[in-house]
A and B are shown apart, each in its own frame.
Chain A
């Protein structure tokens, strides 16, 4: 009895589950999934579908979804109802539905019933067809995916058989081969890889192309043969399906109740591709819509643009207008009726013979009027806007300027409906890394054990690289930049280079390195295409000579000696060794060999070499050291060490040149000899003799060359982050080569020590809380457990071993000193805009390790709050660290970033930089990319408490206000009235720097407003150390509180929230995967593309759409008013003088295409002009085109035109025998002409497409009305337009009326445009004139235009100069000159300025108190300098400094000016102000 009931219940479950499946759309499927799986509680139990589990399997697994996916919204059956249902969610459609229904009420019916449905049906049909097509393509895609084949284990056949993806169920075993796509989320149970590793490429999921490792579940990896599903007797319990890609929790419970934890490392995600692994077997845990990939697939998101919201309000105005008109009609009808004492016989009585009272008739008439005048609410507007946006997006996507050849990517528009918001951006929130910068990390400097190695050559190499990149840059400018670079920022142990020498070597290097790059990078360069983080600039690191020297001393002897006595040298060597080991090991880089792309490197002997006993290693070392000692160091080393380093540089470059020549081959042969006599291990190394990979330092390490010169296999590193790649490549440059990485061991080829294989015990991956990562390895030499940690200095410095224990004071002291020195270096790096990382290590005893391991194991296997436990465990491990050193990695600015930022700034856009980096790094990057100008005053907010924060901000505000008012006074005094308000408002020239902790306070409700007020006064805001959440909060704050249109641009996962919050999210498809792109509305490949996207496409899209929308309103109001005016002459009875069909089709057919073409193709100013004159952007930014006034002007014009269009025919035909439709025909025809020619007046550019469409519309109208008039005798009651058009076509009066009406109606608009164009040309119009000029004239005109703006810029300059002076006020004279003179390289000014930014407050006081009195001597001087500088100033509008820099003579004059200024007691600000004023 009980069995059938249970069975019935089971069936019921099954049915409901399938129903869920069927009914769920892509959007809500996730919810449904949760529901269906909730029946099993929080966790999901996966049982294989096999004999001993059969019953349980039936019970549990059948309830889970199978792998069939359906992303379509509709099925064939439910398409119509469902689509209609969705469409009627729109208010506009509901409104028209209401009208249709209204028309069915006999009392108020105005048209024939069917006719009113026409527009609605047309709109619904268009949208339905669009939806249907979209859905159909989805369906086809689904079908294709569902029918992909994969190998599934079937019990019947006892083997893996081909099955469609859709037939895969939870609990199935699946066997995949290389390059196959994973059909469902599955736990990896077997990999043909001996280490139990499976490599996957997640490009399909997140776009990241680097390989990732996945591991076989512990316990299964030991199996030699492939897993036999029949023998699998475990159950898997894991969490319910969720969309978190980066986490997976669960465990495998074996039949003996043993549990093994499962993590993300064991999970193969649907959509990824198996790489480098012959075969894998897994068991499906999530299938179909429950897979993480599908749950993450949220589909396109919908944002509403600002314009759209505006349009909606205007539509409300139209509704109001409509109601007004209808009320007029209703009242008019009532009055008209009440005039008659008895029923006139043209007023038809009701069926009972009585007439209804006037009030009721008026009420009815109201509704009739609504039906009649419904066209006022443009139903086609929504459809047209959508079509226009599609067209605009299409054009944006096809812009060839967005094509980035290197990555073969162009812009992707992911949101279809916010293109016009691009034209109104007021705030840009930009991420730094990867957005402004290339995110190509280049190893620049390092500090080991407190000793800095500044890698001069490396720096020069970068310079030269830059030269190749940015050929447009003035060479003089560049030299200037690099000079300052050299002279100002030499580390304490960097060589002194005097100018000519430096220049010389620089040039040599710039010449030689490309050649070298071609040769050197030959190993991996060709394959860099698909590989992330491995462009030559990243991979080639030129070792520092000094360090290299020290390196040459490392080898086994240092290790041996370190055992005996810890001399200072050997200690340092120890440090260096460990440092580079850490660089090579402490990461998650995957090694692959490029020859066979995406093939895992099978290092036959080294990788699989079992861990050697200590004895063996010792033996090896001894062998090596003997060899080292036997060979004498080559003379060149001695020479180089004795010579001055600069000359060495030259030597080096010469040497390189030689290397590049065929002579190299000889060297290679020579060095190859010892190789044969080498250790047996090495002979097993795959010999790839075609490689000519010789690194510069080889001769210095002649002794160790036996190993080093054993042909270096080409190795590709695939890193998850560019930093890691940079560090590994850096280590490689020092011959500390990461050879292979398996989950168990890491092999490093170390110069002096040979291949070292570290047993890899743990990897504690990087997370943003800890801001560090660690690896735990067993050192092969010492056999101790060593923890290598690398992380942000802010956290690392606190974790170092403190000098608490007594006794070891000597080394402790040394540690402390190292720490201090390193910290100094770190600060220095950060100021230069380098990314810093600290490297530390810790040696653990086995006991300590065992204890920690215990805890860690517990943490690993827990399902609930595993993250916290793991975090705790990691924190427990990462203590008492020994600082090894620090690295500085440069992230170069993307090309064109400063120009772009300047242009955007000129366009009136405020740019904020939100970054997670340190303050110093952020500020220096901000300078480099011209976000902050050298003259800007920088305010730094760094407060511990909210109140302090508020206080500081208030003070700053006060200061700024005082400053501006003072300035105004002076400017008035001097009669300078040219300070235009446009630039005065945004650009005060102040920059605000704020860090994450302060941000927390600032974002508090109470002081938000002050903060915003302050930021409005600043032209740039830099937020450093900001978390992703803070970024999004900031964006939301500005967006909501300032009511500004915001754009967020970023490239990484940490920018996703900000991108989603902003009005427009732009993702940069850079190096860090696709998360940002997935979340974005527009995805571009380079930051500089933002310039065209905003300035050109944003402007175009906005003006096009606004003009089209305005035109739509105009069109409808004009047309509807014709009907309205007629009501005055038909007793407000709701008669239409036009045939209903023509009336309805007028909007749908005859006048619908031209505005769409207008909206897609109109071009007010050419792209070139828009790019060159960013100021034009302000027009659309302030939504000039779509303020209330143009809207009402348009409506007024529409009223006028409709009046003309109605009354000219009215007076013409007054008193004649004209009938209704014959009267309407000329009106209608004239309206068509008016409406189309109005468009022509508004069109800024008329192409053949416009012509075709407009002529086509007119022809179509005539053809239609003629055909309609010829055929429709009786078919169209009650209106009957039979032969009317035909008759009119032969009537001259018809033509005369149309001509007159059209002319009179369009005359005012035409005249207005003419007068506007002549008397008050808008900037856009003036810019349009430029299009007509020849290129030369154009250039001149643009220059002149910019001169206009210089007036503004001068005002700005006045402001900015004040700030700089206040900052430098407290500095000694010498320093400030140094910092002001070489202005071309802003990062280096940053620090000097930045340090003193706290001094601004007293300075403001000073300024306000100082007199404006002018030193007569100074005037003279300034007057003289005016002559020399005036042309420079004239040509360059804002960066006066840069131009000074470019012209050498001028710069000296300026420096004199500064000196003079500083010497005198005069307020610098005033001096500068006068200075600039005199320039005018």
Chain B
């Protein structure tokens, strides 16, 4: 890289400075360099240099030796021996030779003043004055970073497999037991079967004014001890359709007044109705689940309504941060939603969803739950909570119940199903045996593989642990 026409005044001193580098036996250095790389001892890097330096003196010394019989007799042996000593790094000898060497250079009549690189020293430790292109001898640059070099053999990974197995199986059993302890009861009330009480409502449509009601009686075999969650479930309902998912305006739902009156384009074609902006706009809101479910306990032919709590079913953050009613003067929602119109399929506007003001408008929890679009076409959504009243009685005793349904939601057109689900939950949510079984299975497989590897290790593994490398 001499390129670049930068002015380079010929410094007379540079010739002196480079002198030690131009000495004849430099090839030895390269060998030393290799040695250096191969040596594993961290301190070994100095050694090759010394030996490179020391390599010369045996020859030089020989030159000074009077040539006589000694030179003839001992000649094959002497340099070799001396060389060996130098390479072994006997420090005293090497040092002496180095001194000898540099002294000789001085004697040549070229005092290596100038740049201040002492003749002999420059070979080893010089370069301070002369900028060399020699790369830094750092671990990173020489790719000698200490590294963990995992070698995956049966022997080394055996413990890992056993450990995985030993951890997974208990976890799986725990999950499985937990899941089995969950009580769950599910009623399909779609009414596709002619025998079903809801069969009459099957072909209900959005714009039917009179609600179709039906009642389904059912019996709980086991009592539900803890709090019961009441879900409605839909099947074959693609709430995750790309364009359906997009069809909402989060700003509007967050109470942004400008978005309220001018909803996002994403809401099309449910953005405006009769030139009035729809609140809440979009297909999701428009298709909100609007069946009403009521639960009665039948005891001796008397129907006792079970208290269904409709608050606390949505995420706290959704209810309190993400969904906000429009802001304005006063708390009158009707006034706040002035200028908007209800979604097409809705029977009543959004500010009339509930009587309670903190569960009305956009912060109606049923609405919020619906707006959290389900990931899969078969899903459930939390509808109500049934709290355990006292510690003596279970939340839902075993026995007869009846479910009153105001059947408004048309699913028959796309072969959808509607369900009502009663479930208790645990720390891991609803009933799902899969995770537990999966953990047990995987744990067992790992354990089994561990055994297999153990056998393999005993049969074939030994050859790798020893230094013996067969073909």
Tell me the nearest residue of chain A to B323, going by C-beta. Answer: A1273
Q: Whole-angstrom distance between the alpha carbons of A470 and B429 in the complex?
A: 77
Q: Are A1344 and B468 in contact (CB under 8 A)?
A: yes
Cross-chain contact B1 with A1213 (CB below 8 angstroms): no
B130-146 contacts to A (CB < 8 Å): 132-137, 141-143, 145-146
Q: How far in angstroms is the closest Cβ of chain B from A1123?
A: 11
Binary contact track A596-608/B, C-beta < 8 Å → 1, others 0: 1110000000000
Within 8 Å by CB of B376, from A472, A513, A1171, A1210, lies: A1210
Please report the C-alpha to C-alpha distance between residue A522 and residue B104 in the assembled complex, in whole angstroms.
12
- Minimum CB distance partner of B16 in chain A: A526
A271 to B24, CA, bound (A): 33
Q: Are A1333 and B467 interface neighbours, CB within 8 A?
A: yes
* Docked-complex contact B467 and A508, CB < 8 angstroms: no
| Interface stretch of the complex, out of B26-34, B187-195, B332-340, B355-363 | B26-34
CB neighbours of B146 from chain A (8 A): 1247-1248
A518 touches B242 (CB 8 A): no
Q: Which of A400, A1341, A1348 contacts B33 (CB 8 A)?
A: A400
Complex interface: stretch among B300-308, B384-392, B449-457? B449-457
> Given contacts A180-B7, A181-B7, could you give 4 more A-B pairs where the C-beta distance is less than 8 Å?
A525-B22, A529-B15, A1135-B240, A1287-B317
Q: How many residues of A contact B (CB 8 A)?
A: 172
Task: Find the residue from A349, A530, A1135, A1241 having the highest chain B CB count within 10 A.
Answer: A1135
Which of the four size classes fits the interface of chain B?
35 or more
Q: Do the beta carbons of B283 and A1310 come within 8 Å of each other?
A: no
Q: A1338 CA to B246 CA in the complex, in Å?
A: 64
In the complex the two chains form, what is the Cα distance from A180 to B5 in whole Å? 10
In the complex, which residues 1317-1348 of chain A have their Cβ closer than 8 Å to any Cβ of chain B?
1317-1319, 1321, 1325-1326, 1328-1333, 1335, 1337-1338, 1340-1341, 1344-1345, 1348
Question: Is B435's CB within 8 Å of the partner chain A?
Answer: yes
Give every chain A residue within 8 A of B9 (Cβ-Cβ).
179
**Contact between chains at B142 and A1246 (CB < 8 Å):** no
For residue A513, which residues in chain B have a CB less than 8 angstroms away from its CB? 63
CA distance A1283 to B471 in the complex (A): 58
User: In angstroms, how far is the closest chain B Cβ from the Cβ of A1220?
Assistant: 5
Task: Indicate if B211 sits at the interface (CB-CB under 8 A).
Answer: no
Partner of A397, one of B5, B135, B154, B456: B135
Known: A1129-B240, A1314-B154. Contact between A514 and B59, CB under 8 A? yes
Chain A residues near B244: list those with CB within 8 A.
Answer: 346-348, 1133
Query: B residues touching A (Cβ–Cβ < 8 Å)?
Result: 1-10, 12, 14-16, 18-19, 21-22, 24-31, 33-34, 37-38, 40, 55-56, 59-60, 62-67, 71-72, 75-76, 79-80, 83, 104, 108-110, 132-137, 141-143, 145-155, 157, 164, 168, 171, 175, 231, 233, 237-251, 253-254, 256, 264, 266, 268-270, 283, 286-287, 315, 317-318, 321-322, 345, 372-382, 413-414, 427-430, 432, 434-435, 438-439, 442, 445-446, 449, 453, 456-457, 460-461, 464, 467-469, 471
Q: Are B376 and A1218 in contact (CB under 8 A)?
A: yes
Chain A nearest CB, measured from B1 CB (Å): 7
How far is the CB of B447 from the nearest CB of chain A, in Å? 12
Q: A406-B21, A1344-B469 are in contact. Are A1217 and B379 (CB under 8 A)?
A: yes
Interface residues of A in 1192-1232 (CB under 8 A from B): 1208, 1210-1220, 1222-1224
How far is the CB of B203 from the nearest CB of chain A, in Å?
12
Chain A residue at minimal CB-CB distance from B171: A1296
B110-A526 in contact (CB<8A): yes
Q: Could you list 8 A-B pairs, sorted by A, with CB under 8 Å?
A: A144-B6, A145-B5, A179-B10, A405-B30, A471-B55, A515-B64, A657-B67, A1088-B30
Which B residues are in CB contact (< 8 Å) with A1218?
374-376, 379
Inside 8 A of A400's CB, which chain B residues have their CB? 33, 37, 134-137, 141-142
Q: Do A203 and B2 contact each other (CB < 8 Å), given the known contacts A511-B65, A1318-B460?
A: yes
Q: Is the CB of A1283 within 8 A of B317?
A: yes
**Chain B residue nearest in CB terms to A412:** B1
**Inter-subunit contact B321/A1273 (CB<8 Å):** yes
CB closest chain-B residue, reference A414:
B1
For B456, the chain A residues whose CB sits under 8 A away are 1315, 1318-1319
In the complex, A1134→B246 CA distance in Å?
12
Which among B151, B241, B256, B429 is the interface contact of A1133 at CB below 8 angstroms? B241
Instruction: Assess the A1300–B439 pair: CB atoms within 8 A.
Output: yes
* B64→A1303 contact, CB < 8 A: no
The answer to whether B242 touches A1274, judged by C-beta atoms less than 8 angstroms apart, is no
Contact B322 A526 (CB under 8 A): no
Contact indicator B110/A1133 (Cβ below 8 Å): no
From residue B233, how far is it (CB to closest CB) to chain A in Å?
7
Q: CB of A1245 within 8 A of chain B?
A: yes
Assess A469 versus B25: contact at CB under 8 Å? Given A1223-B376, A1277-B250, A1318-B154: yes
Check if B28 sits within 8 Å of A1274, measured CB to CB: no
Q: By the criterion CB–CB under 8 Å, are A1213 and B376 in contact?
A: yes
- The smallest beta-carbon distance between A1285 and chain B, in angstroms, is 12
Answer whether residue A110 sits at the interface, using C-beta atoms and an 8 A cutoff.
yes
- A1333–B152 Cα distance when bound, in Å, is 16
- The smallest C-beta distance from B262 to any residue of chain A, in angstroms, reads 14
- Known contacts A400-B142, A895-B30; decide if A1131 and B238 are in contact (CB<8 Å): yes
Q: What residues of chain B lie closer than 8 Å to A1291, measured between beta carbons?
A: 429
Contact A511 B435 (CB under 8 A): no
Q: What residue of chain A has the Cβ atom nearest to residue B154's Cβ?
A: A1318
B373 and A344 within 8 A (CB): no
CA distance A408 to B34 in the complex (A): 17
Which of B151, B247, B375, B471 has a CB less than 8 Å from the CB of A348?
B247
* Best-surrounded residue of A507, A513, A1074, A1291 (most CB of chain B within 10 A): A507
**If the complex has contacts A1130-B238, A1214-B434, are A1161 and B145 also in contact, measured as CB distance less than 8 A?**
yes
In contact, A529 and B147 (Cβ under 8 angstroms) = no
Chain B residue nearest to A536 (CB atoms) is: B24
Given contacts A1130-B240, A1214-B378, A1273-B321, contact A1219 B372 (CB under 8 A): yes
A233 at interface, CB cutoff 8 A: no
Q: Are B27 and A1293 in contact (CB under 8 A)?
A: no
A1086 to B66, CA, bound (A): 37
Is A1313 an interface residue when CB atoms closer than 8 A count as contact? yes
Q: Are B240 and A1273 in contact (CB under 8 A)?
A: no
CB-CB under 8 A from A408, the residues of chain B are: 18, 21, 132-134
Query: Which of A1217, A1311, A1318 contacts B380, CB < 8 Å?
Result: A1217
The answer to whether A353 touches B59 (Cβ under 8 A) is no
A1278, B266: Cβ atoms closer than 8 Å: yes
* A336 to B, closest residue via Cβ: B238
Bound complex: CA A967 to CA B67 (Å): 56
Within 8 Å of chain B (Cβ to Cβ): is A275?
A: yes
Check A1212/B434 contact, CB under 8 A, given A347-B241, A512-B67, A1277-B250: yes
Interface residues of A in 522-550 (CB under 8 A from B): 522, 525-530, 535-537
Contact B315 A204 (CB under 8 A): no
B15 touches A353 (CB 8 A): no
What 6 A-B pairs have minimum CB-CB distances, sorted nearest first? Answer: A515-B63, A1223-B375, A529-B18, A511-B62, A1245-B147, A1278-B246
- CB contact under 8 A between A346 and B148, given known A1214-B378, A1278-B245: no
Report B-chain residues with C-beta under 8 Å of the C-beta of A1461: none
Chain B residues with CB under 8 Å of A815's CB are none
From A464, A654, A1222, A1329, B151 is in contact (CB under 8 Å) with A1329
Residue pair A395, B141 in contact (C-beta under 8 Å): yes
Which B residues are CB-close (under 8 A) to A1163?
143, 147, 149
CA gap between A148 and B5 in the complex, in Å: 10
* Contact (Cβ within 8 A) B264 A475: no
Determine whether the beta carbon of A1292 is less than 8 Å from that of B238: no
> Which residues of chain A come closer than 8 Å to B378, judged between CB atoms?
1214-1215
Distance to closest chain B CB from A440 (angstroms): 11
CB distance from A691 to the nearest CB of B (A): 10
Whether B134 lies near A1214 (C-beta < 8 A) is: no
Is A1244 among interface residues, defined by CB-CB distance under 8 A? yes
* A517 at interface, CB cutoff 8 A: yes
A442–chain B nearest beta-carbon distance, Å: 13
B-facing mask of A457-483, CB < 8 A → 1, else 0? Answer: 000000011011111100110010000
